[in-house]
Structure 1
Amino acid sequence: MIFSNTIMFASMLIISTIIIISSPSWICMWMGLEINMMAFIPILHQSKNKLATESSIKYFLTQAFASVIMLFAIIMTTQQDFNLIMSNSSIILMASGIKLGAAPFHMWFPPVAEGLPWLQNFILMTWQKIAPLYIMSLMMQHPLMFIMVLASAIIGSVNALNQSSMRKIMAYSSITHMSWMIAPMIINSSMWMIYMLIYFITTMIMLISFSTFNIYHTSQMMMLSTSMLIISLFTINFLSMGGFPPLFGFMGKWLILNLLIEANMTLIPMVMVMSSWMNMYIYLRIIHPLIMIKSSQLKINFVNQSHLMILSMLTLLSTMGMTSIILM
């Protein structure tokens, strides 16, 4: 029964996103967002613990508030196509930023992520970003986009510095990556889709790794087995997530930086690169004990071998970045 319910709500989640992307009007997009929200909330309740329940309530209230704002903008719009007046586009951008969890509308995102298991976090940090990002990509160049890019890059990297919870670190990392996805929209580029795909793959590898080894805090990294395979998996995945060349995660950042520099933009690329350096420092600080501490630490000897094989195959994707760039 639980499995069938999961399949039903997961199907609704996928269908609602397709409705939003293929929608001919703003009201249909709003309906798709509502279906998406109501399909995701039962998925949040599957873990059946108090933290997940609290996170689902926070998620519902935040998303409902953003939906009200977006519906207000749609009602105030007299036209029925995508040519919105400037004031209404600002309201829709703000509503999309709230749903996306991009700074400065990010306050709800880390607390919600903190109370969820890794599977629900994976959906929250990847699939649930597609619809708001698509709606934002329909907007013309707007000052609010500059604010979101700069705020997400700075707030996401700075706030992750003093965190010990892996879920909060990944949440703030997701906020930082949002700046890389919104930046191409400023110059009306569809490059954000390529970066979204790369982010989807790297985040999936990381969260599967955390779920496999049951890691929720940075201190638990020191309790891992000192097997060279496991150390290599985590090291490559973290470096790829930070955009270290020539790994897979570097390709998306290299393409976005090229695009922005060719458009004669300097401030935004500089801030984004500095935030990536800070994120890389955070990731190196996490994996340093894993590399240095040896057999004196507690080891996890019982690891699902099938999961380890899957992680090994997925990590190979993180080593293909330079090859992909050369082929392009």
Structure 2
Amino acid sequence: MLFMINSNKMFFLFILFFSTLISISSNSWLGCWIGLEINLLSFIPLMSNPNNLLNSEASLKYFITQSIASINFLFSILLNLLLLKNFIIDNFISTLINSSLLMKMGSIPFHFWFPNIIEGLSWFNSFILMTWQKISPMILLSYYMNFKFLFLVMIFNVIVGVISSFNQSSLRKLLAFSSINNIGWMLAALMISENLWMLYFLLYSLFTFIMCFLFYVINIFYINQLFNFNLNFLIKFSILINFLSLGGLPPFLGFFPKWMIINYLLYNNLFIISFIFIMTSLIMLFVYIRIIYSSFMFYSIKLKWSKIFMKNNFMIFINIFSFTSLLGMLSSTLFFI
């Protein structure tokens, strides 16, 4: 594995993988609920660590919040089976189902647990929580969507994710609020097309993986550590490129799915939502650039006692992915022209 994983936890990783397949391939709501429960019970052993109180506290918080979301989901699907269908009841049940699934993925307005839990996790568990754990709720959300409710959630996701990113000292919390911001984009992509959502999710997962792996390799968790350590220039350049891709700056590859979403919103005369999405992306880029700019400025200070020499062959692939991101948008633009 790319991250250092205990061999005893490999079994729970396989269960985590298959539980997601159970949820998305089930032909009944009860089967989806069972898959979500197996997913929860398989992720708890990955999070918990008896030698680290923060991990144990995070796993307990995660279990409580996910259990509440699962109870709400089960209650809503039982209401869906028992009550007679009319417009008001159907609207109410769809809102309940959507709310429980939004709570599962850590979206607005049920996002308060997400940054607190991710602060107590390792980089590997943070990567799983920000990417893989969103697959089941997102796909189940596409089965029963309340569009008016999700439009509000989508807008508040991008706004709150950007506002909360300011004055953050923790890199894990910064990526958590970036994930909340990207949930808004993913909901927009999901309402447009599942293929567009899949493209956006794959690119988001790639950039998040690179960021988590880089921070894991150099063993940093806070923003001020980027300033103090005399890191390799290529590492800082890779962090810069992937931050800009994550923010959606052209010509980087992360701009491509956002560009498609904005085109669809403008084509359907949703100018206000497009304006909000574009402005929040610009503010998020400002947050990223402010961090990286300060980090590059501190690069000139040569501290002899904090030299870091890295001999990791995987860094070559990270740099290749970074330059692919730099050139990918240019090639994709030529392709569509």
Contact 1:212 1:304 in 2 (8 A): no
How far did residue 244 of structure 1 move? Answer: 1.0
3-state SS, counterpart of residue 176 of structure 2: helix
Change (3 A) 1:200 1:50: same
Aligned counterparts, 1:183-194, within 5 A: 183-187=188-192, 190-194=195-199
Contact 1:184 1:260 in 2 (8 A): no
How far did residue 296 of structure 1 move? Answer: 2.2
Change (3 A) 1:168 1:23: same
**Are 2:303 and 1:303 equivalent residues in the alignment?**
no
1:37-56 CA-partner distances (Å, limit 9, x unpaired) = 00001000148311111111
Contact 1:37 1:60 in 2 (8 A): yes
- State TM-score, norm by structure 2: 0.91
User: Hey, what's the Cα distance between the residues in 1 that align with 2:71 and 2:110?
Assistant: 15
Percent identical pairs in the alignment equals 38
How far did residue 302 of structure 1 move? Answer: 2.6
Name 2:277's counterpart in structure 1. Answer: 272
User: Hey, what's the Cα distance between the residues in 2 that align with 1:321 and 1:201?
Assistant: 15
**Are 2:34 and 1:31 equivalent residues in the alignment?**
yes
3-state SS, counterpart of residue 233 of structure 1: helix
**Are 2:132 and 1:124 equivalent residues in the alignment?**
no
Aligned counterparts, 1:198-237, within 5 A: 198-225=203-230, 227-237=232-242
The amino acid of 2:334's aligned partner reads I
Contact 1:6 1:43 in 2 (8 A): yes
- State TM-score, norm by structure 1: 0.93
Name 1:18's counterpart in structure 2. Answer: 21
Larger mean Cα displacement after TM superposition, 135-144 or 199-208 = 135-144
Name 2:182's counterpart in structure 1. Answer: 177
* Structure 1 vs Structure 2 CA RMSD: 2.0
**Are 2:334 and 1:323 equivalent residues in the alignment?**
no
Larger mean Cα displacement after TM superposition, 129-138 or 189-198 = 189-198
Count how many residue pairs are aligned between Structure 1 and Structure 2: 325
Change (3 A) 1:4 1:213: closer
1:158-210 CA-partner distances (Å, limit 9, x unpaired) = 01101111110000000000000001334465421111111011111111111
Q: Which runs of 5+ in 1 are unaligned?
A: none
Aligned counterparts, 1:255-266, within 5 A: 255-266=260-271
How far did residue 249 of structure 1 move? Answer: 0.8
User: Hey, what's the Cα distance between the residues in 2 that align with 1:233 and 1:203?
Assistant: 12
User: Hey, what's the Cα distance between the residues in 2 that align with 1:164 and 1:271?
Assistant: 26
Of 65, 70, 93, 1:67 maps to: 70
Name 2:291's counterpart in structure 1. Answer: 286
Contact 2:12 2:45 in 1 (8 A): yes
Aligned counterparts, 1:71-220, within 5 A: 71-78=74-81, 85-187=90-192, 190-220=195-225
User: Hey, what's the Cα distance between the residues in 2 that align with 1:194 and 1:226?
Assistant: 32
User: Hey, what's the Cα distance between the residues in 2 that align with 1:75 and 1:297?
Assistant: 64
Contact 1:223 1:297 in 2 (8 A): no
User: Hey, what's the Cα distance between the residues in 2 that align with 1:307 and 1:46?
Assistant: 27
Contact 1:167 1:216 in 2 (8 A): yes
Contact 1:47 1:117 in 2 (8 A): no
The amino acid of 1:54's aligned partner reads E
3-state SS, counterpart of residue 116 of structure 1: coil
How far did residue 19 of structure 1 move? Answer: 0.9
User: Hey, what's the Cα distance between the residues in 1 that align with 2:63 and 2:271?
Assistant: 38
User: Hey, what's the Cα distance between the residues in 2 that align with 1:47 and 1:232?
Assistant: 36
